[in-house]
Every structure is written in C-alpha cells, then in structure tokens.
Amino acid sequence: MAEAEGVIQFNCCLAPPSAELPDDLVQPLLAWRSVLRRLELIGQAGERYGGLGYGNVSSRLPGAAGGFVITASQTSGIADAGIEQLVWVRRWDLGRFRVEAEGALPPSSETLTHAMLYAGDPQVNWVLHGHCPDIWRGAEAMGLAAIGADVGYGSPQMAEAVATLLRTHRTRPLVFVTLGHEDGVFACGGSAEATGGALAAALARALACPKP
C-alpha cells in the first residue's frame, strides 16, 4: 500500500538558526528546486496526493559544519522559495528516528531517507526527490533500481533498504524509485549538475518509452 504523502514519521527537535547558510550552497539548491518544479517533479496540486505538497531537495554541508540542508515540510507549493524554506539538519539518529535541525519550519517528511543516503555513501553530496508517474511506472522497463513496495518511507525497513541499494548499485549518480511510495523517485550523486541531469534523463527516457 502506498504511503500517505507529506506525513512526518520521526521526532524533530527544531531550533532557531544559529548560523547563516553559505550562499554558494543555498543558490544552487533553490535553483534545482525551481528546475524540478518546472518539470512538475516538485509541487502542489489539488488533484495529486490529496492536495499536499510533494518532492524535496537537499545538499550536504561541506567541512566541519556537517549535516545537510533540505527544503522544509509542505513548502513545495511555494513558487519562489527562499532561505526561509530551507532547514539545516545538524544531526540525526536512525535508531531512534530523531532529527535535530535548525530553521523556521520543520524539515521535509523525507528527511531520514536523505540522511540514509548521506550516511551510506560519503560521495553523495546531493539528493533530489520528486514524484513522477512516468518514471515510477516505467522503472522496470528502464532497468532502474527500486526499493520494494513493502518498504514504507521513513520506516526502519527503509534504512536497511537504502543501505542495500547503495551497496549493490555503485554507479553515481544513482536514480531509483520507491515502489511503496506512490510515484516516488530519487536521484543522488556528487554534484548538483550530475544528479539533476540523471533525473532529467530518466524522465526523458520514461517519456520515450512506448505506452501500454
């Protein structure tokens, strides 16, 4: 059964921002959010997912700062997002399903999946998550990696499934679908351009596939 979109399934300790986010990270992150909105992989529409927002983007913070920056929960419907819609995830505990973050809004409901990808591979610096029926339905025909339909997002099983996926699919960037989360697709990689390009290429391939 597909999971409900937009439901936060972890405990979050949210504090006010303690430092400014670097502009050279914020601007590319917001730019790729805009790209995915134009492709309708991120957004909010009354006829999709009960009218809730869908999709999110994140980037690892380099150096000693640690953690990653991710778009906030239920902000995908905002056309021109700014730094106020970003959250700095400082620490996370996958065992306790707890997140410590800084920002004005809580982090995305997919935060722990992003965290699992960063924790599982130090070469992953960017994670883009969208919802795309064309990619999701065509994943098997295109030979995309997939997390099984019995694995719900934000679940303990997802942590194990993501770790297994990263071990068995070593190529980066990696595009994969989450069959237990309707239309869910992720791309992760070392740079924004490579990760976003892989996701856009997967969409192009899906659109080129013969329709049943």
What digits encode the pLDDT tens for the residues 88-116? 999 998 888 899 999 999 998 889 999 99
Q: What residues does 14 pair with on adjacent strands?
A: 101
What digits encode the pLDDT tens for the residues 27-79? 999 999 999 999 999 999 878 888 888 999 999 998 767 899 999 999 999 99
Could you give the percent of the chain with pLDDT greater than 90?
A: 73
- The answer to whether residue 211 scores a pLDDT higher than 90 is no
- Cα–Cα distance for residue pair 42/38, rounded to 1 Å: 8
Listing DSSP states for 66-103 in one string gives: -SEEEEBTT-TT-SS--GGGEEEEEEEETTTTEEEEES
What digits encode the pLDDT tens for the residues 15-25? 999 889 999 99
pLDDT at position 64: 62
pLDDT at position 212: 65
The CATH number, out of the four listed (3.40.50.2000, 3.40.50.620, 3.30.70.270, 3.40.225.10), of the domain defined by the range 11-208? 3.40.225.10
pLDDT band at 5 (very low <50, low <70, confident <90, very high): very low
pTM of the model: 0.93
The alpha carbon of 177 is separated from its chain's Cα centroid by a whole number of angstroms, namely: 11
Break the chain into its structural domains and give their ranges: 11-208
pLDDT band at 173 (very low <50, low <70, confident <90, very high): very high
195: number of Cβ within 10 Å: 26
**Helices (DSSP H) in the chain: which residue ranges?**
23-38, 111-120, 133-142, 156-168, 192-208
| Structural contact between residues 76 and 119, judged by C-beta atoms closer than 8 angstroms | no
84: number of Cβ within 10 Å: 13
